[in-house]
Amino acid sequence: MTTEIEAAAELERLAGLIAHHNARYHGEDAPEISDADYDALVRRNAVLEAQFPQLVRADSPSRSVGAAPGGHLTKVAHARPMLSLDNAFADEDVGEFVERIRRFLKLGEDVAVALTAEPKIDGLSCSLRYENRVLVQAATRGDGQVGEDVTANVMTIADREIPKTLPPNAPALFEVRGEIYMDRGDFEALNRQQEASGGKIFANPRNAAAGSLRQKDPAVTAARPLRFFPHGWGETSDLPADSQTGVIAAIIGWGFQDTGLFVTVDSVAATIAHYRRIEAERADLPFDIDGVVYKVDRLDWQARLGFVAKAPRWAIAHKFPAERAQTTLERIDIQVGRTGKLTPVARLKPVTVGGVVVANATLHNADEIERLGVRPGDRVVIQRAGDVIPQIVENLTRDAAREPWNFPHRCPECDSEAVREEGEVDIRCTGGLICPAQRVERLRHFVSRNAMDIEGLGGTSVESFFGDGLIHSPADIYALDADRLLGREGWAEISSTKLIEAIDRSRTQPLDRFLFALGIRHVGQVTARDLARRYVSLDALRARIEEAIARRTTLIPAVGETEEKFALRVAKEMAAIIETPGVGPEVADALINFFAEPHNIAVIEALRANGVAPADVIHKTRASRVSGKTVVFTGSLEAFSRDEAKAQAEALGAKVAGSVSAKTDLVVAGPGAGSKLKKAQDLGIETMDEAGWLAIVADAG
């Protein structure tokens, strides 16, 4: 049974891991794991949060949508958030979804719950804003609140896919939302063209569509065969109907494409039947789909049902099972990542899975190899879900007489010892910065889009510069000049000058990007942002961490205290000193270990000496009567979720606590509030209901 301490540590790990994979999928169009693996992480996070609601983190994946936009495109705020959907994986989940709707709306069993059902297109979410019936803005989903402005690129897409004007019967203001995608035939033709011209080969239609839409040059987008299916709407001055079916029919009538697979059903059985129909036709469809989306048809019911943290209560995505095939495992290679992690990769006899040729599959770690018992020569089952990195799910020749494959105990790149830390599943090279693989990967990470974002210095250039001795550490990048680049293959005067300009622009990236770029273990984009907001400047953060380092040297085990319990106590005290939302013992330990290493401090000082000065990050809040105060939410909140309440409080400059004490300033109590409300009343602390809290939020503007 999972303990509270174990749950807290796992939730911390899951928050960082899911944020990383969100960034790879939504922000970089370069997913590292399958949809099935990603969904498993999200489900595990949800299970732990349900078991331990007091441990729900500020950076919980259950509160986030997509990934923050990054790169060269202008950011644009959505008038209404573009949320994601909760998932169903079995027929029973769909039945429970309908029952939840009945319970929430207090509907009798004799009242039919009409649902719409439509294919879930595997594309890039996009919102099209029409003002006075003219298309004025197009934006990607981004993190749900802020997306990327792709208006110029969308304007190049054919009118039969995206009309540039709406007919006179359309509302004056209307945001059409849907998926930009590329059909399979066009995708295959594009890859043939790319191969012939020496261009990038796309892994699947979704990546091709996303990469084509987010081009700097709209002329590139114009040359790509992009399409659009509508599935909903955002801000609008009026609605043309009072049902999901009616509004979608109106949108199709304005000139948008119809999948031909949108239906309205009035029972769970009919819903599942349509799911089976689409599943059976999936392979023959001209576009990729990964499930079927169900939505409550009545818009007044949708309004009553509302939303949870990142998804509507009135919609759900019923995902398809992964696609599988059999092939032969020819060999196992080891790749070394920027953190020293040794990742085994299966090299396979190429096989087609779901229309894509697969030659490689992840084996994750040594434990997975042992579990599967795989060796070169084995016949294996490959699973590919979501058109991303496949995985081996079964070894069909496990009992065959064959020598076992042993995981290496030395790094294949630098021959340093490879070890597994206590409590970890991964085996890591101990070579650190002397390991070429880690150095190159750390440099690649440092210059990447979500880190220092040095445009023009991609992975190939980093590897080339490193191999030729131009750069060995991040600081060397800021010592480059155009003269040193001129004459190198592919580096003319214009490209050299542009790179130096990009390097100069990156010297003042915000503190959160700088922290993420350093590659500190467990410090992803979300944690880096939280640290930057908490401490504002690098000097302030370092001062606090140095305080923690000094304190750590004074701590000794208590009598009878085990080594494990002592380590946990120390880590918890370090987290208390750093005192940042989202930074628990594991992250605090990683931060302190990083800043305690002289060679890491030397890297930071060398960067500063070369003119790198991270910009301060100030977290803006709205002035309110709860600014600077401590608020506790208790009871069964009905007007908003607990996560939403916490976000509102933090935006108003308040601190949210989980328990009532003499330091509490305000308790907001929903129905069923018990001991916390009583304690607040006994202590004379101000209390109010949800309506009172919403009035505070409204007054703050």
DSSP annotation of 54: G
Helices (H), 579-631: 585-596, 598-609
Between helix 4-22 and helix 585-596 the angle, nearest 10°, is 70
Using DSSP, state whether 428 is helix, strand or coil: strand
Using CA atoms, how far apart are residues 546 and 298, in angstroms rounded to an integer?
Answer: 58
Cβ atoms of residues 391 and 372 within 8 Å: no
Q: Which residues are marked as active site?
A: 120
pLDDT, residue 8, reads: 81
pLDDT, residue 293, reads: 96
pLDDT band at 64 (very low <50, low <70, confident <90, very high): low
- How far is C-alpha 82 from the geometric centre of its chain's CA atoms? 14
Using CA atoms, how far apart are residues 439 and 467, in angstroms rounded to an integer?
Answer: 11
218-232 average pLDDT score: 91
Using CA atoms, how far apart are residues 1 and 308, in angstroms rounded to an integer?
Answer: 28
pLDDT, residue 354, reads: 63
pLDDT digits (tens, 9 = 90+) for 516-557: 999 887 888 878 888 988 888 999 999 999 999 999 889 898
Mean pLDDT of the chain: 86
Radius of gyration for the alpha carbons in the chain, expressed in angstroms and rounded? 27
Q: Considering only 15-29, 320-334, 612-626, which range has the smallest mean pLDDT?
A: 15-29
Using DSSP, state whether 360 is helix, strand or coil: strand
Q: Pick from 58, 7, 44: which is nearest to 644 by CA? A: 58
Q: Pick from 224, 226, 184, 189: which is nearest to 205 by CA? A: 184
pLDDT at 173 over 90: yes
Q: Pick from 289, 320, 85: which is nearest to 206 by CA? A: 289
Q: Which domains does the chain have, with CATH numbers?
A: 4-64 (1.10.287.610), 87-319 (3.30.470.30), 323-420 (2.40.50.140), 432-506 (1.10.150.20), 511-609 (1.10.150.20), 630-699 (3.40.50.10190)
The Cβ of residue 638 has, within 10 Å, a number of other Cβ atoms equal to 11
pLDDT digits (tens, 9 = 90+) for 384-407: 755 457 889 899 999 998 889 999
Residues across the chain: 701
pLDDT digits (tens, 9 = 90+) for 428-478: 887 665 677 788 888 988 999 889 999 888 888 888 898 888 998 899 999
Q: Considering only 82-86, 448-452, 597-601, which range has the smallest mean pLDDT?
A: 597-601
Secondary structure tally for the chain: helices H, strands E:
25, 22
Question: Residue 354: left if φ>0, alpha if ψ -120 to 50, beta else—which one?
Answer: left
pLDDT digits (tens, 9 = 90+) for 334-375: 998 867 889 999 999 887 676 567 889 989 888 889 999 999
The encoded tokens of residue 468 equal 């030729």
Cβ atoms of residues 292 and 274 within 8 Å: yes
Using DSSP, state whether 349 is helix, strand or coil: strand
**Strand 115-121 relative to strand 263-265: parallel, antiparallel, unpaired?**
antiparallel
The Cβ of residue 250 has, within 10 Å, a number of other Cβ atoms equal to 19
**Strand 263-265 relative to strand 227-236: parallel, antiparallel, unpaired?**
unpaired
Question: Residue 131: left if φ>0, alpha if ψ -120 to 50, beta else—which one?
Answer: beta
Instruction: Name residue 135's beta-bridge partners.
Output: 130
Q: Pick from 421, 487, 488, 481: which is nearest to 461 by CA? A: 488
The Cβ of residue 612 has, within 10 Å, a number of other Cβ atoms equal to 22
pLDDT at 99 over 90: yes
pLDDT, residue 69, reads: 52
- Whether the model clears a pTM of 0.75, i.e. scores above it, the answer is no
Cβ atoms of residues 358 and 382 within 8 Å: yes
pLDDT, residue 387, reads: 45
Question: Which residues, other chains included, contact 124 with Cβ-Cβ below 8 Å and sequence gap of 6+?
Answer: 140, 141, 179, 180, 181, 206, 209, 210, 213
The encoded tokens of residue 353 equal 């899975």
